[in-house]
């Protein structure tokens, strides 16, 4: 959403349509229990399942989660391998359920550099759920906010070079090239584990989103924590760069 369109939409008293979550704390959850980090990631998948199931009941239409960043490739090889294995397991175990529930699955981020079978799994999951319109689940995988902005600019320049457009690079043109293009405007970003930073997540989309930081490790997350984040959102005064309108005083 651009600043102009956000400002024209005015403040909203409704709950968030689009919520994004930075799922942080898997490693610390495992360490606190003397368990391997891999078990923390696996419990994190269970937390994701609980959260996805709860989201529509809380009025959310689109949920975007940070699954694997472009920076995560620098982690130890065995941890990266385990994370890739979780993608295979999750899609194999939950794709049919998501499709039946009317969930459309969309993967954000770069496809280049992914293992061939992971790229194929992503393509299959997207095509198999493309017809669904009850709920949009976006998983940022091999994703970085800066990289997505660069890729969007490159797409526009490629269209210019090919003669497909003569439009200059405007905010609207850049936004149309992001991997989030077409999703509802982002209302709320939640980060778990007590950390308070975006970590290169949805940098463009976060321009007017509310931020909620929760001191809970991701494997412990679920419907109650999500409801608390939405409650915090409801207490915010969203002005989109404008000024709050003071209520008229009653005259005698």
Catalytic residue among 72, 151, 200, 220: 72
Residue 233 C-alpha from the chain's centroid: 16
Find, among 64, 78, 10, 74, the residue nearest to 205 by Cα. Answer: 64
C-beta of residue 21 within 8 angstroms of C-beta of residue 195: no
Give me the residues paired with residue 248 across strands. none
| 132 catalytically annotated | no
Residue 199: exposed, middle, or buried by beta-carbon count in 10 A (0-12, 13-18, 19+)?
middle
| 72 catalytically annotated | yes
CB atoms within 10 A of CB 38: 18
> Distance between CA atoms of 239 and 7, rounded to whole angstroms?
8
- Measured N-to-C along each axis, helices 116-129 and 77-100 cross at an angle, to the nearest 10 degrees, of 20
Find, among 6, 5, 4, the residue nearest to 208 by Cα. Answer: 6
CB atoms within 10 A of CB 229: 24
Catalytic residues: 24, 72
């Amino acid at each position: 959403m651009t600043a102009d369109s956000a400002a024209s939409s005015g403040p909203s008293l409704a709950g968030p349509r689009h919520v994004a979550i930075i799922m942080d704390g898997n490693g610390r959850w495992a360490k606190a229990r003397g368990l391997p980090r891999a078990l923390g990631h696996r419990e994190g998948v269970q937390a994701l399942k609980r959260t996805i199931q709860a989201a529509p009941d809380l009025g959310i239409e689109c949920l975007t989660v940070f699954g694997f960043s472009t920076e995560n490739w620098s982690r130890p090889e065995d941890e990266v391998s385990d994370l890739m294995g979780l993608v295979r397991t999750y899609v194999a175990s939950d794709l049919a359920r998501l499709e039946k529930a009317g969930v459309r699955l969309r993967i954000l981020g770069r496809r280049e550099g992914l293992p061939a079978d992971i790229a194929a799994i992503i393509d299959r999951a997207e095509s198999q759920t493309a017809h669904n319109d009850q709920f949009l689940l976006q998983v940022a995988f091999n994703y970085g906010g800066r990289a997505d902005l660069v890729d969007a600019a490159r797409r526009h320049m490629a269209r210019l070079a090919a003669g497909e457009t003569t439009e200059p690079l405007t905010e609207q043109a850049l936004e149309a090239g992001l991997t989030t293009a077409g999703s509802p405007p982002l209302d709320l970003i939640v980060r778990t584990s007590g950390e308070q930073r975006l970590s290169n997540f949805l940098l463009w989309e976060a321009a007017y989103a509310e931020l909620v930081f929760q001191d809970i490790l991701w494997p412990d997350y679920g419907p109650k924590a999500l409801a608390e984040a939405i409650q915090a959102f409801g207490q915010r005064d969203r002005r989109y760069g404008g000024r709050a309108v003071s209520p008229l005083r009653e005259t005698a």
